[in-house]
Amino acid sequence: MIAPSFASRPRESCGVLGIYAPGTNVARLTFFGLYALQHRGQESAGIATSDGSRSYLHRGNGLVSHVFNEDHLKILQGHLAIGHNRYSTTGASRLRNSQPYLVETALGPLGVAHNGNLTNAAVLRRELLYGGVGLISSSDTEVISQMLAGAGGETWRERIGVLMDLAEGAYSLTILTRDAVYGVRDPWGFRPLCVGRLNDHGWVLASESSALATIGATFLREVRPGEVIRLDHTGMTAWQGVDPKSDRSLCVFEYIYFARPDSLLEGRSVHQVRRRLGERLAQEHPVDADMVIGVPDSATAHAIGYANQAGIPFGEVLIKNRYIGRTFIQPDDRLRRRGVALKFNPLPDLEGRGKRIIMVDDSIVRGNTSRAIVDLVRQAGAAEVHMRVASPPIRHPCFMGVDMSTHEELIAARMEVGEVASHIGADSLQYLSVEGLLEAVEAEKGGYCLACFTGEYPVPAVAAIGKDMFESW
Amino acid sequence: MIAPSFASRPRESCGVLGIYAPGTNVARLTFFGLYALQHRGQESAGIATSDGSRSYLHRGNGLVSHVFNEDHLKILQGHLAIGHNRYSTTGASRLRNSQPYLVETALGPLGVAHNGNLTNAAVLRRELLYGGVGLISSSDTEVISQMLAGAGGETWRERIGVLMDLAEGAYSLTILTRDAVYGVRDPWGFRPLCVGRLNDHGWVLASESSALATIGATFLREVRPGEVIRLDHTGMTAWQGVDPKSDRSLCVFEYIYFARPDSLLEGRSVHQVRRRLGERLAQEHPVDADMVIGVPDSATAHAIGYANQAGIPFGEVLIKNRYIGRTFIQPDDRLRRRGVALKFNPLPDLEGRGKRIIMVDDSIVRGNTSRAIVDLVRQAGAAEVHMRVASPPIRHPCFMGVDMSTHEELIAARMEVGEVASHIGADSLQYLSVEGLLEAVEAEKGGYCLACFTGEYPVPAVAAIGKDMFESW
Amino acid sequence: MIAPSFASRPRESCGVLGIYAPGTNVARLTFFGLYALQHRGQESAGIATSDGSRSYLHRGNGLVSHVFNEDHLKILQGHLAIGHNRYSTTGASRLRNSQPYLVETALGPLGVAHNGNLTNAAVLRRELLYGGVGLISSSDTEVISQMLAGAGGETWRERIGVLMDLAEGAYSLTILTRDAVYGVRDPWGFRPLCVGRLNDHGWVLASESSALATIGATFLREVRPGEVIRLDHTGMTAWQGVDPKSDRSLCVFEYIYFARPDSLLEGRSVHQVRRRLGERLAQEHPVDADMVIGVPDSATAHAIGYANQAGIPFGEVLIKNRYIGRTFIQPDDRLRRRGVALKFNPLPDLEGRGKRIIMVDDSIVRGNTSRAIVDLVRQAGAAEVHMRVASPPIRHPCFMGVDMSTHEELIAARMEVGEVASHIGADSLQYLSVEGLLEAVEAEKGGYCLACFTGEYPVPAVAAIGKDMFESW
Amino acid sequence: MIAPSFASRPRESCGVLGIYAPGTNVARLTFFGLYALQHRGQESAGIATSDGSRSYLHRGNGLVSHVFNEDHLKILQGHLAIGHNRYSTTGASRLRNSQPYLVETALGPLGVAHNGNLTNAAVLRRELLYGGVGLISSSDTEVISQMLAGAGGETWRERIGVLMDLAEGAYSLTILTRDAVYGVRDPWGFRPLCVGRLNDHGWVLASESSALATIGATFLREVRPGEVIRLDHTGMTAWQGVDPKSDRSLCVFEYIYFARPDSLLEGRSVHQVRRRLGERLAQEHPVDADMVIGVPDSATAHAIGYANQAGIPFGEVLIKNRYIGRTFIQPDDRLRRRGVALKFNPLPDLEGRGKRIIMVDDSIVRGNTSRAIVDLVRQAGAAEVHMRVASPPIRHPCFMGVDMSTHEELIAARMEVGEVASHIGADSLQYLSVEGLLEAVEAEKGGYCLACFTGEYPVPAVAAIGKDMFESW
């Protein structure tokens, strides 16, 4: 468990990877690819490989660097691999829920790594159970694996088609079979997935282009909504597994917060979009001030954009502890009152003394961190603190895999903007408009899931997914 | 891995336990029950419980005392439990293969703990795969669980019936559902299973009666071949799940070696049977000598029986290192030549000097330990070493779950008795006859699996079961 | 922590080993030597080596097999080594207190492994502290090491002499320097120490001869009280470091319980002495009965001796759980009432039903185990239980390293024999006399420490040793 | 081990902490204080406490958050504590070398935590050895502890005086005794140390003021060179333990790199000094360019200063992987060629395409990281890369505890600036002058150790300290 105050940003579940590289042992490359996707999930990591006849799997809890050692890489033989980083959206970390999921099937071994959330998982799960399949975990990934194992069809291509006909919601998958790696993206395109070339003979599928860059692969293109990519000895083959939905719906939070700034999304630099978000925010909500700061490190680019646009100097007042690790040790009451001081420290008040400060954050979910940060900035001597948020108020829960699933936890669902401002103790608070957001993304029209801002869900919202019916390890 | 010389006795896979005790947290009791069954498997251990609505599982590699701590017991809520000790018959220890196996099904949670080996597992496995179920392990227990999950029938009773109609070979099972614990024994009765009363309200199922005694339960009776026992709020209910086979086939090695001497089997004291095996051996194969010794600790009772019958003093020449633990450190060449000295030490030659010694062992599988032990006894100064084995020559592999599955590894399948004697360096070697064995057991006629001695298998021997198609952790 | 009922025998602290074997890496040999001495201490283990210029150390908590792996042996370079098994007499296991202790000194590296207890440790400790040395642990071994480091004298021989002049109480030491291994035994000879030949060029020092046998060394002789042995490139050199005390005082419990039965002590087989103890006990305290049993495993030889002498059949009623491991899990109240059933199980009452049973134990310290065992034997159906103890009543605490240091914990110090009998629930109870003990040992006259029986201490008893002044890890 | 490219910045050894807070359990507060000093050492961490009579210690390898759990805090009783974070300057991490070091002495328990390096450690060590003290480690801290244990003087005050008379080099110490905590700073003041007030009754000593802020203490003042601070029930007492040296010598790298930006040093904000270093660098070495970037995260402030001064926009091209953990897995050859891509990724070339970029770094030690980073910036499309370093060339090894102890490893000691430029592939390379450095620090005149730049050592450089004479764990 992280100390409470450390976990107040929207959290996403998972990064996926797939590699086909004949003549190579790909486990090492997969390791470094997962290393580059570590920001998408720190709960558990895993790699499954195939050497064309047998399959191998290693998974564990913790960071990629913690889960794997050289002995594990030696076991992970083969030239095909999929990998996964997971952020648990449940409280406990259960090895049983970690990925990839690897099963034997009538068509041979099958491995699945999944980023997203099926909105009809409960229905699919019930169908499997009543179809006579016992399930060992509460994960969508096991549901997907057993659906593929039990789907009609003599080929994996057919079975993937069946899956895509039935599954609803967000899924970017990499799939390992005996002799091929597949990439599958849901027809709405909620979660990113792209493909690259690895020197002359290999290909790589990854959640983000930055993972390609890290392992020396060249970005080719994104996988299209509803598309399936197969990588095998015939090269790369692509087809529409299911028609793309008319309301294409990339999660806009990938731009705002999730993706690495050095990733390319839809041909755009995530870093540049973040600067434009800040610029646009400055246009919509200017305020007279002496300094612009960002909440480190995620809002730095947004803050630089705001500062440049506003012509107000960019500065630093909050310092982030670089070496913070997970601890189960709780602060006592006095320390608790000091709140986030463990994660952020204000510069001595020489820095901010008497200044009017604009503090830019990328988003506000629950509001507790914001409150503590405003307090820290005041401790640093600020005369005024104006909070500017580079995304609209989050008023609706997400059912597509982002860890904000109830109205209650969303401060903007419970309070007006003015109330939020006084709750967090800011002199003023303004959010970017939805229009501003889309303009900054340079989206011509639609194409994004904005449900958490607007309440308009691309797929019908479903009953809350039941908790585990059993606890195991 | 144990140093090679430490593993040359027939090894069996698994002890099972099941407890229903309303108003109690049964995890602790299950822990101590498994503790008492530790001799049946040291590879991994696990407990699954149910509190009537949710189920809980904890498993791990190693001894029961290593796998569980107080925190685990706290998690394992409920008044119903099953437990398992496992001896891996595969080389590697894989957590994935550990038991109990717990799945969610259309009828709620299902846990299975298994002692035995299905002879038609490959066929059943294939049927599941082609029926569309993906399998994560190579264990029979997953096969049994998925068969129960997918069997027709609205009740567990019906489904267990379906399983018993299809499964062939050895299986003593304890099964956990939301509100009941079941005990199931195959129609041949290969492996033992008994039931006892726990004070006024509870019942216990266990592989051996000694586990009942350890936790303070009173032995009621053995579960009959083909019988099913259900323990729930209505008390204990029993029925024949399938007719018992006419050729009842308890594994006779339970008497010779596997079971704890303080267990009761078929109303007989295992300890007393072992003494009678020694007595009978003395009648069949007397030899003039000064002292009778047993290979410690497993052949002590057999040797005392031999000594008493022969009127030759019982003595000790070999001492077993009581604190031996698993080590991966290999002896170097010199130490290797000294062989089993790490496990056994001879008493100084004052003890055996110039004596003619009868050394009684319970059985010989591969012969390498015997050779080293004979050598140690000579080091202790023995003038003659006469080996007497309290069971017949093992000439045929076992397909019912004992770890001796190929002819090649069985020394008596490759050599005549005389050759074995000179191979192990004994002055003489004699085995108990099959008739003598049955008489010592006081078996009136038949009723036992003697396949490893006679080659007459109660169920058709099947093709060797394939290795894992994947390696995982 | 072991469950309380598992720890009621006198416990001794430590086995020591020393090897000099030019041209060999001795770490592996030392490992297997410690393996053979495991019965003398299971708390921690360690090995220190020297390659003639540098020294190396690895220590850890737990069994030898747990503490060392191949990587550790690779680090432990060199042809000189000392090793140590430790039984903590304090409640907590502290790595800081584990041995060998290795320090740099003006004469180069110095390693010390110690079996025994200094009776004037508090005085020596104070002298070191006031002499300006800071001490990191509460162990005598650190005291000995710092005394050697600070003693006058240009050679280790001189310094060891100084140490022996000052130290009082029990100490069998192995000492490692840059280019030699020393064996040192206190002038009373409280604890055993012997030396053997390892093929042509090497020598081995060990607490017991059985360790020599295990690693293929030939027993030469025991180290004499007050003697020092040096093993180096000049071969084996021996001298009296200090005159032997007139009242030679080998701890007689080595014969009764501590030593391995396959060890030779003073030319006598420990196993044979134990049989004679039983024989003599039968002569002193006969009783009409049907069966003689021993408390397994430590009193088996004593019981066989009793049975042979009395002409009453030797049998088994109690079975010891062979796979017991350390557990922190406590039995609940009901299980606690069942007491030692976790360690011992009685055979079913078929075995002992209606019989009059003589139960032989090697010794009684606190009495709680005895009480529980008598109860178990009654559960097995015994009509009468006559307890016979193969050593005299323990009425006085030990200050020479055996874990029974207060009068309060000794049942025979608080109660008359008749009271003890009814406390443990036996129909009768008799102890061996001191004379009988000495006769069984074949001691002509004196030569043994019998202080726990007689209260006559070879060295003056001292104030209880202070607890640690600090706790660390 | 960290992958080679991850370790190319000057590294310092250690942060120290001391707390006196009557009526409180200070272990938790100490934990969070160490948490705030984590940047000063990640190799091991430890806390020693005293409750006025007994002392307690827990130490371990790894981050503070890894070393301690709630159970450890419970053991660490008392209202006095010292703590330590260590960066090993040796290759291996040895628990034996971890701190604090706790010993029993004639004056009671003594704990020592040390930041710095004694330049005459070899001499002091020899004196201890020849004085008859055995040493278990190669650490200066043990030397200091044994000197204090053996120093003349009836009080700790006297003994600390003796130590300060003899010790040469860098030492900022916190010392724990039974009833007081001391802070000691060497007479040159090489390493920082400050003291703060903890609400009404307590005091805190810490390497940096940011640790005070984190745990809610108020900064009082710095400990003066040669000064000793005692915290006990009489409050805070201060005296000169030894006269300050005329050539006061704070390590200037504390400003450049080591200290947290939110710390105050000599009344100056470290963050502001870093900005001024950048401003001054821009004045000394202007160049025509389109964008200024900093090597994240350590040179961000310097780069912002440069950008503001030069009137060139500040931007980002390199992104640092925020979740990097220690891994033993080595990149294969292809990945190795890609070098630091695992730690830094360039933004896609949209960002830097065709731009002339000024890259500001805080310092260059070995040059290998610089080379890789320049390459990454070129991959991002930069037309020109001008390297500007906010400190002078490092040409001389440090003997005061910074991990750059040989000329060979210092690129500026082997090459002229022009050669370095072409070695790292930069279009131009300029370093800040020593004068510029001092001006940015606002040092009036002298007062700083600049030895690594100038070769003028405040204390005589000594022979390299020998390697360990033994290896242990």
Closest Cβ opposite residue B470 in set A54, A472, A473: A54
Closest Cβ opposite residue A469 in set B55, B134, B472: B55
**Other CB atoms closer than 10 Å to residue B92's CB: what's the count?**
11
Which residue of chain D comes nearest to C144, CA vs CA?
D134
Give the mean pLDDT of chain C.
Answer: 88
In tens, the pLDDT along B362-376 reads 999 988 889 989 988
The CATH number fitting domain B269-320+339-443, selected from 3.40.50.720, 3.90.1150.10, 3.40.50.2020, 2.40.30.10: 3.40.50.2020
* D76 SS3 class: coil
C434 touches chain D (CB under 8 A): no
Query: In angstroms, how far is CA C454 from the centroid of its own chain?
Result: 20
Mean pLDDT of C362-383: 90
Which residues numbered 157-216 in B keep a CB inside 8 Å of some CB on C? 209-210, 213-216
pLDDT score at C83:
98
Give the distance from residue A12's alpha carbon to the nearest chain B alpha carbon, in angstroms.
Answer: 26
**Other CB atoms closer than 10 Å to residue B446's CB: what's the count?**
11
In chain A, residues with a C-beta closer than 8 Å to the C-beta of D331 are 28, 32
Which residue of chain C comes nearest to D470, CA vs CA?
C55
Q: Burial-class residue A433 by CB neighbours within 10 Å (0-12, 13-18, 19+).
A: middle
Structure tokens at C415: 């109660």
From the candidates D14, D194, D251, D398, give the one annotated as an active-site residue: D14
Count Cβ–Cβ pairs < 8 Å, chain A vs chain B. 120
Closest Cβ opposite residue B348 in set C264, C300, C325: C264
Cα(C351)–Cα(C342) distance, integer angstroms: 20
Question: Among C52, A351, A399, A375, which Cα is nearest to D216's?
Answer: A375
pLDDT score at D263:
93
In chain A, residues with a C-beta closer than 8 Å to the C-beta of D321 are 35-36, 38-39
Residue A378, C-beta contacts closer than 8 angstroms, at least 6 positions apart: A385, A425
pLDDT score at B329:
75
* B57 SS3 class: strand
C106 contacts D136? CB cut-off 8 A: no
Mean pLDDT of D114-134: 94
Give the distance from residue D272's alpha carbon to the nearest chain A alpha carbon, in angstroms.
Answer: 8
In chain A, residues with a C-beta closer than 8 Å to the C-beta of D24 are none
In chain A, residues with a C-beta closer than 8 Å to the C-beta of B103 are 134-136
ipTM: 0.88
B131 touches chain A (CB under 8 A): yes
In chain D, residues with a C-beta closer than 8 Å to the C-beta of C179 are none
Cis, peptide link before residue A22, omega less than 30° from 0: no
pLDDT score at B9:
56
Question: Among C138, C470, C473, which Cα is nearest to D56's?
Answer: C470
Cα(C471)–Cα(C137) distance, integer angstroms: 9
Cα(A64)–Cα(A76) distance, integer angstroms: 15
Cα(A259)–Cα(A262) distance, integer angstroms: 8
D353 touches chain A (CB under 8 A): no
**Beta partners for B117?**
B170
**A and B in touch (3+ CB pairs within 8 angstroms):** yes
C216 contacts B28? CB cut-off 8 A: no
Question: Among D264, D218, D216, which Cα is nearest to A342's?
Answer: D216
Cα(A139)–Cα(A144) distance, integer angstroms: 9
Confidence class for position C135, pLDDT limits 50, 70, 90? very high
Min mean pLDDT across B88-92, C141-145, C433-437, D61-65 is at B88-92
Cα(C66)–Cα(C72) distance, integer angstroms: 11
C108 contacts D131? CB cut-off 8 A: no
Give the distance from residue A311's alpha carbon to the nearest chain D alpha carbon, in angstroms.
Answer: 12
In chain A, residues with a C-beta closer than 8 Å to the C-beta of B146 are 132-134
Cα(A283)–Cα(D180) distance, integer angstroms: 59
pLDDT score at D334:
67
Domain made up of A13-249: CATH architecture: 4-Layer Sandwich (3.60)
**What is the fold, at CATH topology level, of the domain defined by C264-448?**
Rossmann fold (3.40.50)
Domain made up of C4-249: CATH architecture: 4-Layer Sandwich (3.60)
Confidence class for position C473, pLDDT limits 50, 70, 90? very low
D342 touches chain A (CB under 8 A): yes
In tens, the pLDDT along D394-452 reads 999 988 878 776 777 899 999 999 999 999 999 999 999 999 999 999 877 678 999 99
**What is the fold, at CATH topology level, of the domain defined by B7-249?**
Glutamine Phosphoribosylpyrophosphate, subunit 1, domain 1 (3.60.20)
Q: Please tell me the number of Cα atoms within 13 Å of D290 on its side-chain side.
A: 14
Regions of chain A with pLDDT less than 70: 1-13, 88-96, 324-328, 333-342, 405, 445, 461-473
Which residue of chain C comes nearest to D59, CA vs CA?
C473
Beta strand pairing status for D80-86 and D44-50? antiparallel
Mean pLDDT of B7-30: 82
Per-residue CA distances from D11 to A310, C176, D14, D401 (Å): 39, 37, 9, 9
Confidence class for position C341, pLDDT limits 50, 70, 90? low
- What is the enclosing helix (H) or strand (E) of D184? strand D181-185
pLDDT score at D2:
29
- What residue has token string 């691999």? A81
* D8 SS3 class: coil
Cα(C212)–Cα(C198) distance, integer angstroms: 9
Q: Burial-class residue D131 by CB neighbours within 10 Å (0-12, 13-18, 19+).
A: middle
Count Cβ–Cβ pairs < 8 Å, chain A vs chain D. 178
In tens, the pLDDT along A89-105 reads 543 445 667 899 999 99
Cα(A20)–Cα(A27) distance, integer angstroms: 11
pLDDT score at C154:
92
Structure tokens at A205: 């599928």
Cα(B300)–Cα(C293) distance, integer angstroms: 13
B470 contacts A56? CB cut-off 8 A: yes
**A and C in touch (3+ CB pairs within 8 angstroms):** no
In chain B, residues with a C-beta closer than 8 Å to the C-beta of C342 are 32, 35-36, 214
Mean pLDDT of B215-237: 96
pLDDT score at C328:
67
Q: Burial-class residue C71 by CB neighbours within 10 Å (0-12, 13-18, 19+).
A: exposed
A75 touches chain B (CB under 8 A): yes
Mean pLDDT of C179-200: 95
**Chains near C, with 3+ CB pairs < 8 A?**
B, D
* B12 SS3 class: strand
In chain C, residues with a C-beta closer than 8 Å to the C-beta of B29 are 332, 335
- According to the CATH classification, is domain D265-454 in 3.30.2130.10? no
Cis, peptide link before residue B297, omega less than 30° from 0: yes
In chain C, residues with a C-beta closer than 8 Å to the C-beta of B35 are 321, 324, 327, 342
Tell me, yes or no, if A14 is annotated catalytic: yes
From the candidates A14, A194, A449, A452, give the one annotated as an active-site residue: A14
pLDDT score at D340:
45
A74 touches chain B (CB under 8 A): no
Residue A191: phi and psi, rounded to 5, are -110, 145
Closest Cβ opposite residue C316 in set B36, B271, B325: B271
* Higher-confidence position of D446 and D250: D250
Confidence class for position C90, pLDDT limits 50, 70, 90? very low
Name the residue ranges covered by the structural domains of chain B: 7-249, 269-320+339-443
**Beta partners for B240?**
B227
* D315 SS3 class: coil
A109 contacts B132? CB cut-off 8 A: no
pLDDT score at A92:
42
Q: What CATH code would you report for A264-321+335-454?
A: 3.40.50.2020
pLDDT score at D466:
40
Confidence class for position B94, pLDDT limits 50, 70, 90? low
Mean pLDDT of D222-238: 97
Cα(B111)–Cα(B80) distance, integer angstroms: 11
